[in-house]
A and B are shown apart, each in its own frame.
Chain A
């Protein structure tokens, strides 16, 4: 039976088109019993190939098709797992470390070094094959002999895909091999599943090579590179052998022999499925079992838990499971790493189900006490669960790579690797690559790609007809049909490999015998396996996730220390601060971890949390599952006493009391199952996992009927089943929520008590969903002053400065919590500034003048101009733009300074220097420079008279700020429209609370967030937040209005909207949107045609077309999901348009002079 020995799957990035499982399935249909996978430059698909072979009953061969330094290719196969896998891994690793990053390359010598256990195939793409094709017969022979001397197991690979002259080349390679006495094998160099896939292959070739589709660039367009049947391969054999049947039979036998020699039992590669599982554990140096026991015992005393019998019992049970699974060493290793990270002064917290383990708490991996919160170990690690536990830890995002480096230094590069992940084609990336291959102009491709939400590539044409904003876009016309059709065919194919955001493998010195390693973008060693593969391969991983909020909080603490001299131990802050909970209850949570989204602001206002446990419940409720199975309303009603708390049975009171009878946590499901059947928590966890699928629920249902203890009556059994059925698959792991709740509380506490420093941290590390201008606006709302860029006071990042508290009413309230502090715009906020420029500018402070700055900080000309335009020199040169007359003879203006930057640039380019100090040596003559610079020494080579150019108006200042900083510092942009908004009677955010429920009002603002989350109704609902300088306004667009509004919502930067007021809590209001308009368009109409024209523009509505289409996915518990919900929405318009408002009378002339070099 023929066996394909040279097969590329989709894991040959941007080359292959079929996934290993599909290839194996086809091979099985052809009756084959062996199939190889030889992906390009790696074994990315090897584990999945072995799994597919195990499922289909085939034996796998694994290998790789490696690029050589001279542009040729060579294929290597492992001669069995035991003999060849380690060599294959080592060779692939060596290939990736020999070439440039991303351009692996081998040489004959390199292959020879690792050739033990490998078979080397020299095909038409090899140097031998190329020489034969070019009729360099002597050279071909020499090369073949050189290869034979270098590697022990060599074969000449014959391929004929019916290309021009290909058959002849194959015949001559056969003759060469026969004369040299080398083994020959026949392959089809497979890259497609079906012949028709060659079009996808051509597109991938063009995308990979960054060239347009053209015969000149596609060396080998053929539809024959598919997984041919044995019969078809026999025909190929006959062709290659010139019709000589005996030679053809010999060729096929020789191919079969090599396949037999290389094939192995897939379970050898799938270490986790072996009995017992073969785990790859870190080296601890001594027996880890007593070591872990001792550390836990120490932990009991340290945590003050040594006297509790319950705790000791729980510890014994956990250790039994850990030891039975042989995982003691893993816990020791992880504890070593978390100790090390904390010793580096990096904030570090445990996250996820691992927080439920007492052992993790005792040995200091996590700080969450599972007993206190009622968390269960079984959710993390249980007897019945196949698979490995994951310990997840959160560290400061800005220090994550430091943590990785420390881990590498401690364990050595040989023992550590990051986990990788495959980035696959989705709608936008597929459109980009196909558009480029089809030769569309780049800016058009960009516009088209950005119009789509983050849907799958195969949904592209469906989305075009389903979504109103795309229907109106005109993208659906015939011209782009081919682009979309091809883009859909790239759906799900891996595009490139990337570093997984958190997975780290910690193993022993044999790690690189198990997985090949390549260099990631940041030069970290990266396994070619993804997170599922590493588990199957028996490798233990630790998730070290960088969390921006941890960095933001660390920065906040630094700023508090720097400005106020206070040392705050955040982990020791008591968890019952009334002021903090008061702030959360009013929904003023923008900037806080986990609770700042519009939906969460609404939920916290309704739930009114008062304790840490309330926050845990709040975070658990705000998940797609609980929201969609409607756990929220019953919980809130019971909590506020609107309905009595009921339990399905008195025995379940203990499990459900903490959430007023409503099931919210996974842990509660486990307790219910255990309480009513006595099956034990480990088995209950298995049951809970089974509830995930409809079939699983059926199985559990029949089990439930029999397993429930006899004392429960029929009705109780039924009622409790309904609870499991509805919520089993949708609850949230309480351990996750408990781990999240702590930073949520901490961030809220910092906002309440150290608002300015907190906002500095949030602005610097951007942990949340809102753009910086929203955070800045919230800071203003809290009484923090926003201070403009100043070359002598600004820093690298946002910094807090003390300012005079100002004269305001001496009231208590959230509007004053930041009073007395200011936030200084940093240099890093300037568009286009480089790290090196920031370094030089900060190091050179203070400056005495613009020319001093130009001389010593050496900024690029555009950056210097931008700094001037946003006021970086206002203080230094005494400028007062925005107020007073535009023409001020004798006084310098920002425009004069911009002109001076030009003069300075020209003079330094011409080599003209006034002072003896050149631009290269600037330390000695600072004093002299200052003396010269005091009076604005403008006259080096060009004289610029102060006041020659008009000062910028306030309008121009804000426009410059938006363009350069991306935020309006001087004045909120919406205030330029006050006159129009007042004329229309628009309601401001701060007045929303005074509106009666059900009133229809107008609101306006800058769009700051747009989301399309999953909602229970199965609609795609658009949630939009506007910011109008007095606070946020939350709008909800249901499908019924989207035909009219969707294009405007996604396509506008500033919106005017009509909506119906909906009171959602004591202090919370949201609006159901009825209609909306682009405010910039209305402003233009107002300026040109007057208010009546605006009013008529707002009334004349096109008849709404049909709303959002698409098949709604319906779940068994009644939850429906729109195919366009719960995906990232189209980015839409995110940067302000060029012209935001009509130029106010009097500001003649164009905008600020802006010349970018």
Chain B
């Protein structure tokens, strides 16, 4: 059962892919990338600037021993990361 969050998080990347992130004061290490997709923004609603795209990663990550599945989102326009969902 997944839960929705939408919390801003800090993410470290390696080769363009997330490798670890901090969520609610805990460090999570990414073990495996399960899926990755990209969604273009509804650019026609925004102004002239490039609205960018949203890059999603679904990863297996662990703060300690228990492995959970987490969905991270990177917004190229704002440069910020969110933790969207978690299955833990």
Q: A167 with B39: in contact, given A481-B48, A482-B44 (CB under 8 Å)?
A: no
Q: How far is the CA of A202 from the CA of B42 in the complex (A)?
A: 10
The answer to whether the Cβ of B7 comes within 8 Å of any Cβ in the partner chain is no
Q: Are A438 and B44 in contact (CB under 8 A)?
A: yes
Q: Are A215 and B42 in contact (CB under 8 A)?
A: yes
Number of interface residues of B (CB under 8 A): 14
Contacting residue for A221 out of B35, B39, B48, B56, CB 8 A = B39
Cβ distance B40 to chain A, nearest Cβ, rounded Å: 4
The answer to whether the Cβ of A224 comes within 8 Å of any Cβ in the partner chain is yes
Q: How far is the CA of A165 from the CA of B37 in the complex (A)?
A: 7
A224 closest partner in B (C-beta):
B38
A151-163 toward B: CB 8 Å interface, digit per residue (1/0)? Answer: 0000000000011
The answer to whether the Cβ of A908 comes within 8 Å of any Cβ in the partner chain is no
Q: How far is the CA of A1052 from the CA of B1 in the complex (A)?
A: 69
The answer to whether the Cβ of A199 comes within 8 Å of any Cβ in the partner chain is yes
Q: Are B44 and A164 in contact (CB under 8 A)?
A: no
Q: How far is the CA of A224 from the CA of B39 in the complex (A)?
A: 10
Contacting residue for B36 out of A162, A202, A482, A485, CB 8 A = A162
B41 closest partner in A (C-beta):
A221
Q: How far is the CA of A485 from the CA of B47 in the complex (A)?
A: 11
Which residues of A lie under 8 Å from residue B38 when comparing CB positions?
162-163, 222-224
Q: How far is the CA of A167 from the CA of B42 in the complex (A)?
A: 22
Which residues of A lie under 8 Å from residue B88 when comparing CB positions?
none
Contacting residue for A164 out of B37, B43, B48, CB 8 A = B37
Q: Are A167 and B50 in contact (CB under 8 A)?
A: no
The answer to whether the Cβ of B75 comes within 8 Å of any Cβ in the partner chain is no
The answer to whether the Cβ of A1053 comes within 8 Å of any Cβ in the partner chain is no
Cβ distance A171 to chain B, nearest Cβ, rounded Å: 10
The SS class assigned to the B binding surface is: strand
Which residues of B lie under 8 Å from residue A199 when comparing CB positions?
43-44
Q: Are B48 and A168 in contact (CB under 8 A)?
A: no
Q: How far is the CA of A213 from the CA of B40 in the complex (A)?
A: 13
Cβ distance A678 to chain B, nearest Cβ, rounded Å: 63
Q: Are B43 and A167 in contact (CB under 8 A)?
A: no
Q: How far is the CA of A438 from the CA of B55 in the complex (A)?
A: 26
B76 closest partner in A (C-beta):
A223
Q: Are A167 and B40 in contact (CB under 8 A)?
A: no
Contacting residue for B35 out of A167, A198, A222, A224, CB 8 A = A167
Q: How far is the CA of A239 from the CA of B38 in the complex (A)?
A: 14
Cβ distance A202 to chain B, nearest Cβ, rounded Å: 7
Cβ distance A848 to chain B, nearest Cβ, rounded Å: 63
Q: How far is the CA of A221 from the CA of B37 in the complex (A)?
A: 12
Q: Are A221 and B44 in contact (CB under 8 A)?
A: no
Q: A223 with B40: in contact, given A196-B50, A482-B48 (CB under 8 Å)?
A: yes
Which residues of B lie under 8 Å from residue A239 when comparing CB positions?
36
Q: How far is the CA of A155 from the CA of B55 in the complex (A)?
A: 31
The answer to whether the Cβ of A166 comes within 8 Å of any Cβ in the partner chain is yes
Cβ distance A172 to chain B, nearest Cβ, rounded Å: 13
Which residues of B lie under 8 Å from residue A482 when comparing CB positions?
44, 48
Which residues of B lie under 8 Å from residue A223 when comparing CB positions?
38, 40, 53
Q: Are A167 and B48 in contact (CB under 8 A)?
A: no
Q: A202 with B37: in contact, given A196-B50, A223-B53 (CB under 8 Å)?
A: no
Q: How far is the CA of A1077 from the CA of B37 in the complex (A)?
A: 61
Which residues of A lie under 8 Å from residue B43 when comparing CB positions?
199, 202
Q: Which of B36, B37, B44, B48 has the most CB of A within 10 A?
A: B44
Seen from chain A, the residues whose Cβ lies within 8 Å of a Cβ on chain B are 162-168, 196, 198-199, 202, 213, 215, 221-224, 239, 437-438, 481-482, 485
Seen from chain B, the residues whose Cβ lies within 8 Å of a Cβ on chain A are 35-40, 42-44, 48, 50, 53, 55-56
With A164-B39, A167-B36 given, can you name 7 additional A-B contacts, CB distance below 8 Å?
A162-B36, A166-B37, A215-B42, A223-B38, A223-B53, A437-B44, A485-B48
What are 13 inter-chain pairs, A to B, with CB distance below 8 A? A163-B37, A165-B35, A165-B37, A167-B35, A168-B35, A198-B40, A213-B44, A215-B42, A223-B53, A239-B36, A437-B44, A482-B44, A482-B48
